[in-house]
Amino acid sequence: MMEKMIIGRYVPADSLVHRMDPRSKLIIIFLFVCIIFLANNFTTYVLIGIYTFLMLGLSKIPVRFLYAGLKPVLWLVLFTLLLQVFFTKEGSLLYELGPIKIYEEGVRQGIFISMRFFFLILMTSLLTLTTTPIEITDGLETLLHPLKKVRFPVHEMALMMSISLRFIPTLMQETDKIMKAQIARGVEFSSGPIKDRIKAVIPLLIPLFVSSFKRAEELAIAMEARGYRGGEGRTKYRLLSWNLSDTLQILILVILTILLILFRS
Amino acid sequence: MRKTVISLENVSFQYENQSNFALQNVSFDIYEGEWLAIVGHNGSGKSTMAKLLNGLQFPQQGEITVCGIGLNEESIWEIRKKLGMVFQNPDNQFVGTTVQDDVAFGLENHGIQRDDMVFRVEDSLKKVKMEHFLNQEPHHLSGGQKQRVAIAGVLALRPSIIILDEATSMLDPKGRGEVLETVRALKEEDSLTVISITHDLEEAAKADRIIVMNQGEVYREGSPEDIFSLDDELIHLGLDIPFSIKMSNAFRQKGIDLSKHYLSEEELVNELWTFRSKI
C-alpha cells in the first residue's frame, strides 16, 4: 500500500520545477492555497486549472504515475462531489427520483468544491514530488528565520526535522527486523481478530521504542563529539540559490491572483 | 624521544550512582604517529577512557593533556577539533541525510566557510574512497561504507588524532578489513595518531603498541609480541587470542618451532608452506 501512495514522495527528474528554489516553491504553494478560494465561477476555475496543469507539465512528472498515485484520493474527491450534489438544496430543481432531489446549485457547488480540492492536492503533491524533504526543511528554515527574533527555535526545529527524515528508513528496517523476530516466536500480525492483531503490535512497539531511545542517546554523543553546540556560530553547507525563474514563477502567480480578482463574480 | 600527544596522569573516574571506579589511577602517554590499541573485556574501562579523552566525561581525579592543552570545560571544543572519534554503531553516528551532508556536519559545527567546506568534503571522501557516493542516503550503504563516511567526517576537521571506539565491532569481516585498511593508509599519509579501543585482538595485533585494561586499571603495556606472549593470562582476562597465535602455540607444543612467536595469519601461512624446504 505504501508503495502506491505518492503523497510525500520525491521523484527525481531534471525539470524547471525540480530546479526551483525550495523557498519559492513553498511561497507559491502557500499563496496558491490562499488564492484558490478566490475562484468562484467558471472562468476563474478554468484559470486555476490552466495554471495547475501548466505547472504539472513543467515538472515532467509522468501522468500515469500521478494517476496511479492519486487514485485513492480521487475517491475522496468523488465523495465530496456526491455529498454536495445530494445535500445542497438551493437553486432550481433539476431531477427528482423518489426522495432524491438534485438541485442546480448542488451540482454547481459540488463540481467547484471538488475541483478546488483536486487542484489543491495536485499542487501540494507537486511540491513533495519535485522537492527532496531536506530541501523543504532548508527552505522552511530560511523562510522562518525571522521568527528567531521572537525566540522561536527555527534551527532546532529544522535539525529535528532533518534527523527524523534521516532515521525514517533506518527505523523502517528495524521494524521489519523486529517483526520477523516476533513472527519467528509465533506472534501473528496479519491474521486473527482485530483485537488480537492490535495486541500483537505491542511487542513490536516496545522494542522499537527502547532501541530508538538508545539510538537517540548515541546520536547525541556522536554529535557532541563532532563539535555540535547549537545553532550559534554554525555555517551552512547546503546552499539555496534564488534564480530568475523563481522570481518569474512568483510573478506569474501574482498575475494569476490579479486575474482571479478581476474575473471572480 | 618521541613527542607525546596525549598524557594521562593518575586519572580516576566513577560513574554517578556506582560504587566501583570505572577507571582507577590510570597513567600513560600516547606518542605522535603511533597506532595504539587499548584492549580489555566488557567493563574493563576502555570505553570510559574514550569518553574521557574527548571530554564527554570529566575525571574526578587526575589530569588529561591533549596536544599540550589541559582538558577542561573550556578547552573541549578546541580539543574535539584535534581529536576525531568514530563510534561503534554505524547508523547512530550518521547525522546527515546524505553522505556529503554527514561529512559536512562537523565542518558546519565549527563554522568553516562554505567554499572551504565543499573542498574539504570532497577531499576527505576521496581519502576514504567514497567520493562516488556523494548523494547516497545512509540506508543504501553497507556498515563498512558508513564507517568510512564517519572517518571522512572526522578527517574533514583535520584532526591529529583519531579514536576508533569499537568502530569495527558491528561490521562483517569485509567491512572490518575495509575500515582498518582505510585508517592504516590515512595514518601513513597524514601522520595521524590512531587509538583503537577494541576487544578484538586480531585488530590489536596490527597496532604498534597495546595497552591491556582490566577492572579500570592498566594491566599491561607493550608491543603486540610482548602482549601475546602472555597467553593464558589474556584468556584469564576474558580476551581471546588471535587464531594464528593459538595455531603457532599448538605447533610449538607438538615440537614444531616456528621462527617467531607472534605471526599474522598471512605470515603463518607463509611460514608453514616454506617450513619443509627449510629443513
ipTM of the complex: 0.85
A174 chain-B contacts, CB cut-off 8 A: none
Q: Which of B56, B97, B109 sits opposite A162 (nearest CB)?
A: B97
Per-residue pLDDT tens digits for B248-270? 778 878 877 776 665 677 777 87
Residues 6+ apart with CB under 8 A from A167: A215
Q: Does residue A4 surpass a pLDDT of 70?
A: no
Q: Does B96 touch chain A (CB under 8 A)?
A: yes
Question: Could you tell me if A169 lies within 8 Å of chain B, comparing CB atoms?
Answer: yes
Size (chain A), residues: 265
pLDDT, tens digit only, all 279 positions of chain B: 578 899 999 999 988 888 888 888 899 999 999 999 999 888 788 888 888 988 888 998 899 999 888 888 888 888 888 899 999 999 999 999 889 999 999 999 999 999 999 999 999 999 999 999 988 888 889 999 999 999 999 999 999 999 999 888 888 888 888 889 899 998 888 889 999 998 888 888 888 999 998 888 888 898 888 888 777 788 888 787 777 777 877 887 887 777 666 567 777 787 778 777 655
Q: Which residues of B, range 117-176, sit inside 8 Å of A by Cβ?
A: 117-118, 121, 137-139, 153-154, 157
Q: Is residue B270 part of a domain?
A: no
Distance from CA of B132 to the nearest CA of A (A): 18
B99 touches chain A (CB under 8 A): no
B51 inside domain: yes
Could you tell me if residue B91 is inside a domain?
Answer: yes
B63 has which bridge partners? B9
Q: Which residue has the higher pLDDT, B78 or A69?
A: B78
CATH number at residue B216: 3.40.50.300
Confidence of residue A254 (pLDDT cuts 50, 70, 90): very high
- DSSP letters for chain B: -PPEEEEEEEEEE--TT-SS-SEEEEEEEEETT-EEEEE--TTSSHHHHHHHHTTSS--SEEEEEETTEE-STTTHHHHHHHEEEE-S-SGGG--SSSHHHHHHHHHHHTT--HHHHHHHHHHHHHHTT-GGGTT--GGGS-HHHHHHHHHHHHHTT--SEEEEESTTTTS-HHHHHHHHHHHHHHHHHHT-EEEEEES-HHHHTTSSEEEEEETTEEEEEE-HHHHHTTTHHHHHTT----HHHHHHHHHHHTT---S-S---HHHHHHHHHTHHHH-
Per-residue pLDDT, B196 = 92
User: Which pLDDT score, from 0 to 100, does residue A189 have?
Assistant: 79
Distance from the Cα of residue A135 to its chain's centroid: 14
Residue A49 near chain B (CB below 8 Å): no
Number of domains in chain B: 1
Higher pLDDT among residues B254 and A120, named by residue = A120
Percent of chain A surpassing pLDDT 70 = 97
Residue of A169, A219, A235 with shortest CB distance to B112: A235
Asked if A210 is an interface residue toward chain B (Cβ–Cβ < 8 A), one would say no
Q: Rounded to 5 degrees, what angle do the CA atoms B183, B188, B194 make?
A: 50
Residue A7 has pLDDT above 60, yes or no: no
For residue B169, the chain A residues in CB contact (below 8 A) are: none
Task: Calculate helix-pair angle for A22-35, A244-263, nearest 10 degrees.
Answer: 0
Residue B201 lies inside a defined structural domain of this protein? yes
CB-based contact A235 B95, cutoff 8 Å: no
Confidence of residue A6 (pLDDT cuts 50, 70, 90): low
CA B259/CA B263 separation, integer angstroms = 9
Residues 218-257 of B with CB under 8 A from A: none
Full DSSP string of B125-162: HHHTT-GGGTT--GGGS-HHHHHHHHHHHHHTT--SEE
A223 contacts in chain B (CB < 8 Å): 95, 105
Q: DSSP assignment, residue A145?
A: G
Confidence of residue A5 (pLDDT cuts 50, 70, 90): low
- Judge: A226–B81 Cβ closer than 8 Å, yes or no: no
Q: What is the pTM of this model?
A: 0.81
The pLDDT-based confidence of A102 (bands split at 50, 70, 90) is confident
State mean pLDDT over A100-121.
88
Indicate whether B105 belongs to any domain.
no
**Which residues in chain A touch residue B94, judged by CB atoms under 8 angstroms apart?**
166
Q: How far apart are CA B273 and CA B146, in angstroms?
A: 38
Interface residue of B92, B139, B169 to substitute, partner A, most A CBs within 10 Å: B92
Per-residue cell: B217: 586499571
Residues of B serving a catalytic function are 166
Supply the pLDDT for residue B263.
Answer: 62
Residues from chain A that touch B91, judged by Cβ atoms under 8 A, are: 170, 215
Instruction: With a cut of 50, say whether residue A58 has pLDDT above it.
Output: yes
Given this model, what pLDDT does residue A190 score?
78
Domain range holding B65? 4-96+161-175+187-241
Asked if the Cβ–Cβ distance from B117 to A235 is below 8 Å, we say: yes
d(CA A10, CA A27): 19
pLDDT at A246: 93
Answer whether A166 sits within 8 Å of B54, measured CB to CB.
Answer: no
Cell numbers for A129, please give them: 514530488
**A18, A138, A159, A166: best to mutate for the B interface, most B CBs within 10 A:** A166
For A163, nearest residue in chain B (alpha carbons): B95
CB contact under 8 A, B139 and A170: yes
In this prediction, residue A1 carries a pLDDT of 38
- The whole-chain average pLDDT of chain A stands at 87
Per-residue model confidence (pLDDT) at position B45: 84
Nearest CA in chain A to B101: A237
pLDDT at A213 over 80: yes
Whether A248 contacts chain B with CB within 8 A: no
